[in-house]
Amino acid sequence: MKMKELLLVGLGGMIGALLRYGVMVTAPDTLVLWLENGIGSLILGWLTGRAISSGRKASVLWTTGVLGSFTTFSTFSAEWLVLMQDHFVLAMVYGLGMTLMCFLLAALGFKLGGQFK
């Protein structure tokens, strides 16, 4: 790994973590993960679509750094498992809903970024 890429990932991680914290303290608790993962999926789809369209690689600052620390699959998984303990059907709706939303937003971002013409 190149030192420049390492520094970009670290800087991006700091920015993404601060943005995530900003969402956590301003959005209602029930919407935090939906906002973080939805916004992150849309932006990552867009960045990926742009990178493919331009023939360049997406920047690790934005992908691994900012979006990697802004979005959170681990928190989603933990919340899903806790919900599953007492509300199996609701947990299934939650898990499938989050997954479908993120997939659709990533696909929209991909299209907006220049793919799926």
- Given a contact cutoff of 8 angstroms between Cβ atoms, the answer to whether 45 and 105 are in contact is yes
Q: Does 42 have pLDDT greater than 90? A: yes
Q: Does 114 have pLDDT greater than 90? A: no
* Percentage above 70 pLDDT, the chain: 97
Q: What is the pLDDT of residue 117?
A: 59
Is 68 annotated among the ligand-binding residues? Answer: yes
Q: Does 53 have pLDDT greater than 90? A: no
Against a cut of 0.95, is the pTM above it?
no
Query: What residues have CB less than 8 Å from 65, skipping those under 6 apart?
Result: 8, 9, 10, 11, 12, 13, 15, 16
In terms of Cβ atoms closer than 10 Å to its own Cβ (0-12, 13-18, 19+), residue 105 is: buried
Is 75 annotated among the ligand-binding residues? Answer: no
Q: What is the pLDDT of residues 87-96, one digit of tens each?
A: 999 999 999 9
Residue 99, token pair as written in the block: 């997954």
DSSP reduced 3-state for 102: helix
